[in-house]
Structure 1
Amino acid sequence: MIKKFLSYIMPIPIEIIPSNVSDQLELTWNNGKMVLDTKHTNYSYGNLQKVLRKGLLKIGIENINQMQHILLLGVAGGSVVETLTKEFKFENKMTGIEIDPIVLKVAEKYFQINTIPNFEIILEDANKFVTETNQLYDLIIIDIFEDCFMPDFVYSEIFISNIKRILKPKGYILFNTIVLNKIDLEKNKSYKNQFENSKFVLQSFPNIDDKNELFLIHKEYE
């Protein structure tokens, strides 16, 4: 625990782990908390947890606790799962989809994500999963990164169409994006346009933690 206490003075590196998906994963004690990073961005239990927490609070604790099934596309260390279970006291079903087997091993070893009784982890490509599933979800959290980059499929019409299909009426989508340049800005503008109809209401929250833009989408009608 000495490293934990010293981390209030300076970050204390713990381990660097190679990953085929994200190049490398970095575990660090920072301000008394274990965080998971890549070379260029936070993956779990740091600023990312704060970003997604803001989106969840926009939905509201009462609304979330009435939900039956939450889908997480992109798990990493599982910080959003911690927020939902410990802070929001969510007790119903959560399913997490993660493509990187290395990051799941890290999440189990360092963050005990496999001990959460109402959370199921599936090792799968998120694009493939949403294409094939017929399950409906009350909330879909999209947080898919390869280091600080987002795969192109998350912006594709097919992926977005599948997300709409598996979202329950009155359900929510929470989509975390990163804006590093003008190309990213244009991608986000195009993304917004795919929800411009009477069925969905989209709110955007730019410049969260400097570079993140968060989309909160509510499916108001069937």
Structure 2
Amino acid sequence: MFKKILSYFTPVSIHTEKSTVSKSLDINWNNGELVIDSENTNYSYGHLQHFLKLGLEAIGFEKVKAMKQVLVLGVAGASVVRTLIDDVQYEGKITGVEIDANIIKLANKYFNINKIPQLEIVIDDAFEFVFKTKVKYDLIIVDLFQDIQMPSFVYEIHFRDRICLLLEKNGCILFNTMPLDKKQNLLNETYISSFNKENFTIKSLPRVEKHNELILIERID
């Protein structure tokens, strides 16, 4: 309890370990919340959880609550899963794909995500998973980072087309991005303009964080 109170004044670290994916992983108390941080950014819970919640609010909690299958590409500590369950009161199936087994171990230990009955964790590369799965999803959340870097494939046309193909009718994609410079901002603009407007609506949500930008894609049927 003392560490939690102290965290309102300064972050308090309770566990640190090296990561082959994100350089380091830290479990910290920050402003009274237990969070996971990588070397350079908040990785799960904290402001990232609040930010992704805004994306779900943009879709509409009632619409999300009625969905049957959700795919999360990039689980980390599963903060968005907690938002789905605690705030949206979602009761459908959640499949979470995460390449870093170490962060899932931490999430199990500190956040008890292994006790979420509707959550299935798959340790796999997100790119490979989407080309193997035959399941259709109502919502796909793309939150793929290695520290502050997004893998280049998230902007590639064949990856974009594949996740769109995995959408059910009237399904949605919520894509979390972190454009840190003009080049990356241009990538987002190009990505948004590349969609077929007859089949999809696509928009970026107003930035509430300095660097993160959410892109919301909705399939039109």
TM over 0.5: yes
66-75 or 31-40: bigger deviation: 31-40
Name the SS for the 1:56 alignment partner.
Answer: helix
Percent of paired sites with the same residue: 46
Write the deviation string for residues 116-137 of structure 1: whole angstroms up to 9, x where unpaired. 0111100000000001111000
Name the SS for the 2:176 alignment partner.
Answer: strand
Residue 131 of structure 2 corresponds to residue 146 of structure 1: no
The match for 2:27 is 27
The match for 2:135 is 135
Equivalent-residue separation in structure 2 for 1:203 and 1:54 (angstroms): 14
The match for 2:190 is 190
Write the deviation string for residues 140-194 of structure 1: whole angstroms up to 9, x where unpaired. 0000000001000000111101101101110000000001001101111221123
Equivalent-residue separation in structure 1 for 2:48 and 2:196 (angstroms): 27
Name the SS for the 2:215 alignment partner.
Answer: strand
The match for 2:15 is 15
| 1:206–1:212 CA contact under 8 A, matched in 2 | no
Name the SS for the 1:164 alignment partner.
Answer: helix
Equivalent-residue separation in structure 2 for 1:219 and 1:2 (angstroms): 48
Equivalent-residue separation in structure 1 for 2:189 and 2:58 (angstroms): 21
| 1:208–1:214 CA contact under 8 A, matched in 2 | no
Name the SS for the 2:188 alignment partner.
Answer: helix
Structure 2 segments unaligned to the other structure (5+ residues): none
4-13 or 27-36: bigger deviation: 4-13
| 2:179–2:212 CA contact under 8 A, matched in 1 | yes
Equivalent-residue separation in structure 2 for 1:128 and 1:190 (angstroms): 24
Equivalent-residue separation in structure 1 for 2:207 and 2:70 (angstroms): 26
Give the residue type in structure 1 aligned to 2:5.
Answer: F
The match for 1:45 is 45
65-74 or 24-33: bigger deviation: 24-33
* TM-score, normalization by structure 2: 0.97
Equivalent-residue separation in structure 1 for 2:69 and 2:185 (angstroms): 31
Give the residue type in structure 2 aligned to 1:192.
Answer: I
Give the 5 Å matches for 1:47-66: 47-66=47-66
The match for 2:210 is 210
Name the SS for the 1:208 alignment partner.
Answer: coil
The match for 1:36 is 36
Give the residue type in structure 1 aligned to 2:188.
Answer: N
Name the SS for the 1:207 alignment partner.
Answer: coil
Equivalent-residue separation in structure 2 for 1:82 and 1:200 (angstroms): 28
The match for 1:179 is 179
Residue 96 of structure 2 corresponds to residue 74 of structure 1: no
The match for 1:201 is 201
Equivalent-residue separation in structure 1 for 2:51 and 2:45 (angstroms): 10
The match for 2:106 is 106
The match for 1:163 is 163
139-148 or 201-210: bigger deviation: 201-210
Write the deviation string for residues 102-126 of structure 1: whole angstroms up to 9, x where unpaired. 1111111111111001111000000
Residue 196 (structure 1) shift: 3.2
Count of residues paired in the alignment: 221
Residue 206 (structure 1) shift: 4.3
| 1:43–1:76 CA contact under 8 A, matched in 2 | yes
Name the SS for the 2:131 alignment partner.
Answer: helix
159-168 or 205-214: bigger deviation: 205-214
